[in-house]
Structure 1
Amino acid sequence: MNVISFKERKGWSITVHDLSGSPVAAASMVTPFVASPGSDRVSCSNPGSWLILRPGDGTWKPWGRLEAWRERGGSDGLGYRFELIPDTNGGMSAAGIVLAESTLSSNKGGKFVIDLSSRVGSGGSNGRATPGSATSPVCSPRSSGDHGYGLWPYCMYRGFVMSASVEGEGRCSKPTVEVSVPHVNCTEDAAAFVALAAAVDLSVDACRLFSQRLRKELCQQMELLG
């Protein structure tokens, strides 16, 4: 994991390797986590974001996008939204399908869950569409060369997909990731979910109030550069 941090939290990256040492998934912070004007927190109106990436055709292809921010009010938690990205040219700008949108406790942590068993359908904002049921047309990563993108949006996630436990801010956690067997057809499938879980975990720290110091291992390179 690389961590590059100055006045804003940016440039963090995660790479997941298989047992042979080959990279099989990655997460890259593509939108910096910065405090909203007049505040020391990352706001919902200007969230930081990660791209979850899978290898394909000799390069990295975007599979999903995770946005995170610091909630206001009594919860004072980590707000997040995760969506799948269809494989179109310049996929970062493509409209995705939201699979998870909720809040975790910034202090105690909690579970990040993708479970389409009882989703209530609704139209998403900004061109996003929320799955209406367990049979919603949502694409799963596949073991084929195009990772299932050629079937978008006709291949589906159903029911429970994954969960990951994360610790609260300031703690060095090791997320426990559970993935439903039908959604894992190859190493890259499992690795993509692991990269997503790691990005959720690091978002707890990325969204920490800017008046508070990051834990040592996350600001070590900044100290060396300073």
Structure 2
Amino acid sequence: MGKKTKKAAQFHLDVRAEPDPRFVFQFDGSPECSPQVFQIRGNTRQPVFTCKFSLRAADRNQRSRSVPLEASCSGARGWLSSFGSERERPGKERKGWSITVHDLSGSPVAVASMVTPFVASPGSDRVSRSNPGCWLILRPGDGTLKPWGRLEAWRERGSADGLGYRFELIPDSASSGIVLAESNLSCSKGGKFVIDLNGNGNGSNASTPKSTATSPGCSPRSSGDFGYGLWPYCMYRGFVMLATVEGEGGSGKKAGAPPLVEVGVQQVSCTEDAAAFVALSAALDLSRDACRLFSQKLRKELCPPPPQDMLF
């Protein structure tokens, strides 16, 4: 009789990588239409923010004026002029856009303001990388609105014809910003703006899987519950945020759904944290319109009223 062979014991291990927990927010319309913003939890949609888009009217001499902010946040006006360019620029330009994010009590919790106009480069119909438009993202701090981040955007040349962008944080104690994302996405098809510090490529949207995340069973609370001042001393880690940007439609219209924003739970300790990322997403979505070729028309919500004579 032959000897029986013993089979070696085998251990089977199935490892599944769960995505980082994320807060998920969705606009219920385009940012220029002053929409509500909902937090998504599975099949539940809960309103958490309201947005107010404003467009600074051009005067007879095309001079720039301060972006209107609530009286309680008037101290932010100095920041807007120091970070932006207020000089007059002849030719084709888009300027004076801003969007304010309010909590449900009506208090402003974040602002995205266009501080450098989006101007067509000489002899062309597009905003160039050498002269990008710029947004300043502000959030409450020390009784006023203070700079939190800066977003630059332009229209890439060549067959790609993409929306180029660069986002950097503005720490209080630093003389220069910290770049967290620099990449581009398709103007016609849209794409995803990603900040992921896991080493997967900051700002890269090529390898980012389609989101299936939902918010955890809690919501960001007011900074009064935690105390402001944790940022920027606690550095961002891991997954930070993802925002969808829809492609261009015909006749100045947008194609597809309004922006969806995902923010890593570990990055949010209060309502103002989440609102800053929502304002950044709105600025990115509006940058796609600001970088539209100047030979194309914009939606009426983005077009300034006719210049009016100055009143004395």
**TM-score relative to the length of structure 1:** 0.80
For 1:163 and 1:43, locate their aligned partners in 2 and report how far apart those are by CA, in whole Å: 25
Residue 205 (structure 1) aligned to one of 245, 265, 289: 289
1:106 paired with 2:158, answer no
For 1:163 and 1:120, locate their aligned partners in 2 and report how far apart those are by CA, in whole Å: 13
For 1:216 and 1:64, locate their aligned partners in 2 and report how far apart those are by CA, in whole Å: 28
Alignment of 1:1-226 (within 5 A): 1-4=53-56, 7-88=92-173, 94-118=175-199, 144-149=227-232, 151=233, 155-169=234-248, 170-171=253-254, 174-219=258-303, 221-222=304-305
State the one-letter code of the partner of 2:302: L
SS in 1 for 2:95: strand
Structure 1 residues 97 and 223: alpha-carbon distance in aligned structure 2, compared to 1, 3 A threshold: same
Q: CA RMSD in A?
A: 2.2
State the one-letter code of the partner of 2:124: S
For 2:245 and 2:121, locate their aligned partners in 1 and report how far apart those are by CA, in whole Å: 25
Offset at 1:102?
0.7
179-188 vs 209-218, which moves further? 209-218
**Is the Cα contact below 8 Å between 1:116 and 1:159 reproduced in 2?**
yes
Offset at 1:8?
1.5
Structure 1 residues 30 and 159: alpha-carbon distance in aligned structure 2, compared to 1, 3 A threshold: same
Larger Rg: 2
Offset at 1:51?
0.5
Higher relative contact order (CA 8 A, sep 6+): 2
**TM-score relative to the length of structure 2:** 0.59
Structure 1 residues 84 and 225: alpha-carbon distance in aligned structure 2, compared to 1, 3 A threshold: same
Structure 1 residues 202 and 225: alpha-carbon distance in aligned structure 2, compared to 1, 3 A threshold: farther
1:131-188 Cα offsets, whole Å, 9 max, x none, are xxxxxxxxxxx85333524x3xxx2211111001111233175210000100000000
For 1:23 and 1:60, locate their aligned partners in 2 and report how far apart those are by CA, in whole Å: 9
For 1:224 and 1:110, locate their aligned partners in 2 and report how far apart those are by CA, in whole Å: 36
SS in 2 for 1:222: coil
For 1:224 and 1:147, locate their aligned partners in 2 and report how far apart those are by CA, in whole Å: 45
State the one-letter code of the partner of 1:106: C
**Is the Cα contact below 8 Å between 1:4 and 1:222 reproduced in 2?**
no
For 1:41 and 1:4, locate their aligned partners in 2 and report how far apart those are by CA, in whole Å: 22
**Is the Cα contact below 8 Å between 1:165 and 1:176 reproduced in 2?**
yes
* Number of equivalenced pairs: 197
Offset at 1:52?
0.5
1:51-73 Cα offsets, whole Å, 9 max, x none, are 01001122110000000000000
SS in 2 for 1:198: helix
Q: Percent of counterpart pairs with the same letter?
A: 72
In structure 2, stretches of 5+ residues that fail to align are 1-52, 59-91, 203-222
Offset at 1:224?
8.3
Structure 1 residues 118 and 216: alpha-carbon distance in aligned structure 2, compared to 1, 3 A threshold: same
1:45-95 Cα offsets, whole Å, 9 max, x none, are 00000001001122110000000000000110100000000115xx8xx31
For 2:307 and 2:122, locate their aligned partners in 1 and report how far apart those are by CA, in whole Å: 28
Match of 1:130 in 2: none
